[in-house]
Amino acid sequence: MKRLILLLGFFSLITPAPAQAQSDQQLVSHLQQIYTSWRTAMVRKDASTWQRLTSHTRQVNVRNRLWSERVKFPDGVFSANVAPPSIANLSAQRVRVKGNTAKAIYFGKVDFGVGGTPTDNVFIISYVKEGVAWKYHGAEFVNLGALPEVRQQLQAGELKFFDSEDFHPNGVVEPAPKALRGPVKYIARTYAFCPGREVKLLVNNTSSHLFQNTKRSDVVIGGAVDGVNEIQYSIKDISGGDPKAPLTLRVYLMSQVPGTQPIKAAEYQVTDGSRPKPSGTIRFTVTPEMTIKLKGR
């Protein structure tokens, strides 16, 4: 189920004593207002309100990602073609709080404003508490298209699907990563084709990536640097996968010169049915000649 979740973040109202119930209901409304105001800031491209309502860790993650693609901050925050969905017409199913973390789960016709007819799916909003203030921390969209039985259960009011740990806050406020000081010099992307396997990559001891039974590319946080760059990898089989399936890991350097193709800077590949090494290190060097192709000078 976890792979059906698209990262973008309502309440297990446990039946408490009457006085506590009122307090909990106030918190539910408060969290709902935070998301609604955050969404309004996104739609209106209101950077100051976005920063006030967004957790510090998420702000750093967003800024690091934008600068790793040499996109302006905060302008890039508002450049997505997909609008955050409104929760006004969704049904709040669960709101759970643990320590300084909270998750609110909604069900209904989640509309990202991309046209078509929205169907019944799940939308989860995560919050963290910083000091005395709750902040928006992220959202997840669970597409139930591949889980028609679950959709029918939820439509009938059967909520056991939400008992999974994926729908519970863990109580841990993740620390913010090291903040980049500005846009990277070289844009880099990892690529993995790993049917039946789980692959973990760590680039330059900074940018971590997880690939599971997929074909996907990720931006490298921090980009590539002049001279030697290092990729540490680990590979393990996923139950039911083909141990002889091919595998490809690559790092590409993306040119900032219009019309220039990316440079394949590093590659590890297994295509002959043999088993890949369970772990290892790949290195590549950004040379002055590459710099000319990547930056035009």
Average pLDDT taken over every residue of the chain: 91
Mean pLDDT is lowest, of 45-59, 219-233, 237-251, for 237-251
State in Å, rounded, how far the first CA of the chain is from the last one: 47
In the chain, where the domains are located: 2-167, 187-295
pLDDT reading at 205 higher than 90: yes
- Spatial strand order of the sheet with 207-212 comes to 207-212, 197-203, 227-237, 279-286
Determine the average pLDDT of the residues in 125-137. Answer: 97
Work out the pLDDT band at 6, boundaries 50, 70, 90. Answer: very low
Q: What is the C-alpha to C-alpha distance for residues 187 and 73, in angstroms, rounded to an integer?
A: 16
From CA 231, how far away is CA 14, in angstroms rounded?
A: 46
- pLDDT tens digits, 8-64: 333 333 223 233 333 578 889 999 999 999 999 999 999 999 999 999 999 999 999
The structural architecture, per CATH, of the domain 2-167 is Roll (3.10)
